[in-house]
Amino acid sequence: MLEIKNLHVSIEEKKIIKGLDLSINKGEVHALMGPNGSGKSTLSYVLSGKDKYEINDGTIDYNGKNLLELDVDERANEGLFLAFQYPMEIPGVQTSFFLKTAINSKRKYLGQSEMDALEFAKLMKSKAEELNISTEMLKRDLNVNYSGGEKKKQEILQMSMLSPKMAILDETDSGLDIDALRIVSEGVNKLRNNENSFLVITHYQRLLNYIKPDFVHIIADGKIVKSGDYSLALELEEKGYEEISQTA
């Protein structure tokens, strides 16, 4: 699915990712943990193609394609999804309209006809219900005056409606209350299958109780310093980054 080799990235001359390797296969869930400022969000932006990042070295293969050559929207329409750590507000654009536009952009890219209004309404309603998002919410402008947690839930709604192949969740759990955390995790688990993959960025082992990862990686200063299975997250919880990084 995704194969990152020897990735070096800088922004405004500042080196942020310094030789990162990561390989994610179909059907796998990988967790990425690491201290503040270690480069997790940067990695997620580079994968989704945000500009201003300079790729100094390395390759990224995505399903046999050179990911770095694709535009942001091409990557998205090829099934790459980023749930933002800080989702954007778009004033004047109704949430439901945004969802519809996103879905139809993808369908257009894939050479399919637009989803008809009724089918869309049904899909949106059922997905929103699963995530406990009210229909009133969907009539509001996208993310405008949403609470922090509501924004995160909105990201997951978009994800479940677009059913991506490769989803990156950047601290989706931060800001969610206990119930919302469970609901969002259930939403993610429902989407999991043998064909898609997840990269879950988090600071808290608690999320991984709900979304069981196949692999856990620890990133520090732009490199993956340790990888393991779920038990690594528990170990981290106990020892903290400092000690884990030293034993690496």
Ligand X SMILES: Nc1ncnc2c1ncn2[C@@H]1O[C@H](COP(=O)(O)OP(=O)(O)OP(=O)(O)O)[C@@H](O)[C@H]1O
The Cα 188–Cα 169 span in angstroms is 10
Strand stretches in 185-229, DSSP E: 197-201, 215-220, 223-228
Cα separation of 41 and 117, whole Å? Answer: 35
Task: Kindly compute the dihedral angle of the four CA atoms of residues 14, 20, 26, 30, in this order, to the nearest 10 degrees.
Answer: -80
Q: Which of 87, 187, 213, 222 binds another protein (CB under 8 A)?
A: 87
For another protein, the binding residue among 62, 81, 146, 198 (CB under 8 A) is 81
Q: What three-state secondary structure class fits 96?
A: helix
Residues 172-192 as b or e (16 or more Cβ within 10 Å = b): bbbbbeeebbebbbebbeeeb
Q: Does 242 bind another protein (CB under 8 A)?
A: no
Site map 8..37 versus ligand X, x via CB under 6 A: ---xx-x-x-----------------x-xx
| Positions in 123-152 near Mg ion (CB under 5 A) | none
Which CB atom, from 28 or from 78, has the smaller least distance to another protein? 78
Which listed residue (4, 9, 28, 42) binds ligand X by CB under 6 A? 42
| Contacted entry of ligand X, another protein, Mg ion, none for residue 38, CB cut-off 5 to 8 Å set by kind | ligand X
Q: Let me know: does 88 contact 152? Beta carbons within 8 Å.
A: no
Name residues contacting another protein, limited to 157-186 (CB under 8 A). 158, 162
36 binds, among another protein, ligand X, Mg ion, none (CB under 5 to 8 A by kind): ligand X
For 9, the token pair is 């990235």
Tell me, what DSSP letter sits at residue 70? S
Q: For another protein, which residue of 57, 73, 119, 195 counts as binding (CB under 8 A)?
A: 73
Shortest gap between Cβ of 188 and another protein (angstroms)?
18
Phi, psi of 90 (to 5 degrees): -125, 95
Nearer to another protein (CB atom), residue 90 or residue 191 = 90
Could you tell me which of 8, 4, 2 has the C-alpha nearest to residue 57? 8
C-beta of 44 vs 202, nearer to another protein: 44
CA-to-CA dists, residue 210 to 50, 172, 233, angstroms? 30, 13, 13
Any residues with CB less than 8 A from the CB of 63 and at least 6 apart, and which?
1, 78, 165
Kindly state the smallest distance separating residue 103's Cβ from Mg ion, in Å.
27
- Lay out the site mask for Mg ion across 7-46 (x = CB under 5 A, - = otherwise): ---------------------------------xx-----
Question: What is the contact surface with Mg ion in residues (CB under 5 A)?
Answer: 40-41, 85
Question: What is the contact surface with ligand X in residues (CB under 6 A)?
Answer: 11-12, 14, 16, 34, 36-42, 85
Question: What is the contact surface with another protein in residues (CB under 8 A)?
Answer: 48-51, 71-73, 75-77, 81-82, 84, 87-93, 98, 101-102, 105-106, 109, 141, 158, 162
